[in-house]
Amino acid sequence: MRKIFKFSQSLISILSIIVGLGLWQIAELTLPTLVAGPIQVIQAFGEGIQNGTLIPDISISLGRVLEGFILALASAVVFGFILGWYQPVRLMLNPWLQFLRMIPPIALIPLVVVYLGVGQSAKVFVIFFAAFLVMLVTIYQGVRQVDLTLIRAARVLGCNDWILFSRVILPASVPHIFTAMRLGIAAAWTTLVAAELIAASHGLGFMIEQASNYFEMPVVYLGITIIGILGIAMDRGILAMERKFTLWQEKIQ
């Protein structure tokens, strides 16, 4: 019964994709000069692979995202715990955090271009900035929400600060860390493409920008499609890790 239910659920998703692609193709037929449909996009994909520009563009963009994201995650976990745990630090840094959080990372790009140029480090910095702030706020809120009773229970069992942190606060915050990662990767990806649209010589954003200058609609659509698919893939990757992590917790012997 459950199998049938699951099957019909995935059937609906597949149908939805097919209908979507169909509508997209119809849009191309209606507005042939303005819209490139799925078939043209697939052709553009083949051409991009053949002339050897597409794979480098994708891998450059992915590399930037992963570099910025991983740096941001590591720093956000460390600072998230410090901010969540030590009230004076939180009081001191919170106004700045709130201020920085309100600045769209894209608004920093002109400054970053001046200071760091249009190369790799400029992109990584903007991505780091965007993902770090989102993740930091989520993680420190998570640390603050750790059930007080659990902390008290650990204290009365004789925990010192280090054991309390490593064996209670950290595992209790794991769900929040994963939520932060999903928000962070989305922020990183969005920011990267924006940065590449404005100032870059490689990458998916640059590819879209250049194609639109030459009115190569299939390449523009191809770039957009790849960005969407890669974004979903990364999100799913984190989701799968989250599930695996929970599974591991349940398997502790």
- Binding residues for another protein, rule: CB under 8 A, are 147, 149-150, 152-159, 163, 167-168, 171-172, 174, 249-250, 252-253
Q: Which is nearer to another protein, 172 or 198 (CB)?
A: 172
Q: Which is nearer to another protein, 100 or 172 (CB)?
A: 172
Query: CB of 165: closest distance to another protein in angstroms?
Result: 14
Distance CA 62, CA 234 (A): 10
Q: Which is nearer to another protein, 102 or 148 (CB)?
A: 148
Helix (H) or strand (E) segment spanning residue 125: helix 120-144
Residue 215 contacts residue 84 (beta carbons within 8 Å): no
Query: CB of 181: closest distance to another protein in angstroms?
Result: 18
Radius of gyration of the chain (CA): 22
Distance CA 203, CA 210 (A): 11
160: left (phi over 0), alpha (psi -120 to 50) or beta: beta
Residue 64 contacts residue 120 (beta carbons within 8 Å): yes
Query: CB of 174: closest distance to another protein in angstroms?
Result: 8
Give burial (CB, 10 Å; 0-12/13-18/19+) of 100. Answer: middle
- The DSSP code for 102 is T
Q: Which is nearer to another protein, 9 or 249 (CB)?
A: 249
Query: CB of 113: closest distance to another protein in angstroms?
Result: 45
Q: Which is nearer to another protein, 119 or 171 (CB)?
A: 171
Query: CB of 95: closest distance to another protein in angstroms?
Result: 24
Query: CB of 36: closest distance to another protein in angstroms?
Result: 49
Residue 181 contacts residue 135 (beta carbons within 8 Å): yes
Q: Which is nearer to another protein, 51 or 160 (CB)?
A: 160
Residues 6+ positions from 206 with CB-CB distance below 8 Å: 57, 196, 197, 200
